[in-house]
Amino acid sequence: TNGGFADVYVVFLKIDGTKFTAMIVERGTPGFTQGREEHKLGIRGSSTTPLLFEDCKVPVGNVLGEIGKGHKIAFNILNVGRLKLAAFGVGGMKYVLKGGVEYAAQRKQFGRAIAEFGLVREKLARAAAQIYAAEAMTYRASGAIDTAIAQSDGSPAKVMEAIEEYAIEASIMKVTGSEWLFQIIDEVLQIHGGNGFVEDYPIERAYRDNRVNRIFEGTNEINRLLIPGMIFKRAVKGAMPLMAAVQQLDEELTDPRHFPPSASAFGSGPGAGKAVTLLPVGRLAAERRGAEMAKRQFIFAAKWAASVGTALEERQEVLAALADVAIEVYAMDSVLGRTLATEQQPQLRDALCRFYCMESRERAYDRARTAIAAVVPAEERDAQLDQLARLHKYTPVNSAEAREGIVPSLLETGGYPLSY
């Protein structure tokens, strides 16, 4: 990146074939040249070139950090880059949604603005809810990192440690920031109809420019593998109490006070309300319970995934499913934390939270089910999927009502309606 005009380059290489190291190389160094510009699908204003080395000698003083410790620099570059990409994604989502709201409000079809049609309103509401969630996660993780850095001694090594502590969150937000931005772009292009496929409209360029975000900073597939991998590693080291959570969940599932045998215990039938210890009350009670149950779904799926031992490293589809559950858990928890901590515009914030959690818990359950079905032996599979289903019972939300708590504010403000 920036290869065509940069004067200073950070290059990663192996010294003696094994010691992964970062070095600074300057333009004009003998044996170092830049290749031709790549012709890309999007981000055409960005320079991208190969770097060519032939008998290039670089002074030992140009080593960045320590010989053999280049991986620490590389990983933290990626961690920070992932956080930055998530923040960039939030800004992009708001920009694109604004264009979608404006177009839907002025485009007439059958004598009405298309913003009056239910399916268009659903697209707009979903985009706003995704922005609300992405913003909550970005500020949460960034604030936590700022606090950790402030509490360190400020040395480069301690700053890197503080950032590395939130590598899981960085991967989560890289995935959501890039995928949600592209989903919103895709939906806004759809709102534009045929015009969205025409270069005269800015949504066409947004579609091309933002496809690369799922490749930048480690592909989303790699980040999905990293999320559960880091969780399991921290659990083994005792830095994350996963096994204690598994034991607690096993106890809950065998205690009728928590999970009554009646399926109606979490609905509106005669058994409703019996699971009092896991039924929060008050504001956003259903959403809070949904988030708590999604956490338990992750724990349940992680327990079974861990049962295959080291073979899990080769079961990428299982790791990716676990990652998706973790992503939804972090998103719901962040959205709820943000909403319950803020008193301004409570009705709009509740609607955004409710809409996001409504869809998020379905995605979490689906991916937890995928993971369990892939690792549980056939003779136990149905029984364990039934156990998982006990962690998912809830009264469905009226999606149209949730949508209508959001869309009027979008149309009134001409875009995303919250300033913070």
Residue with tokens 């003696």: 16
217, 287, 292, 328: the active-site residue: 217
CB 402 within 8 A of CB 350: no
Strand partners, 11: 23
Amino acid at site 298: F
Distance CA 333, CA 328 (A): 8
For 388, residues 6+ apart whose C-beta sits below 8 A from its C-beta are 297, 300, 301, 365, 368, 369, 372
Reading the block at residue 172, the tokens are 């989560």
The encoded tokens of residue 240 equal 């994350």
- 178: Cβ–Cβ under 8 A, 6 or more apart, which residues? 85, 89, 210, 213, 214, 216, 220
DSSP sequence for 287-331: HHHHHHHHHHHHHHHHHHHHTTGGGGGG-HHHHHHHHHHHHHHHH
Q: Which residue in 14, 2, 6, 7 sits closest to 63, CA to CA? A: 14
**Which of helix, strand or coil describes residue 344?**
coil
Q: Are 122 and 398 in contact (CB under 8 A)?
A: no
Is residue 401 part of the annotated active site? The answer reads no
At residue 14, φ and ψ (nearest 5 deg) are: -110, 125
What is the DSSP track for 225-292? Answer: HHHHHHHHHHHHHTSS-HHHHHHHHHHHHT-TTTS-S-GGGGSSSTTTT--GGG---STTHHHHHHHH
Q: Catalytic residue positions? A: 217
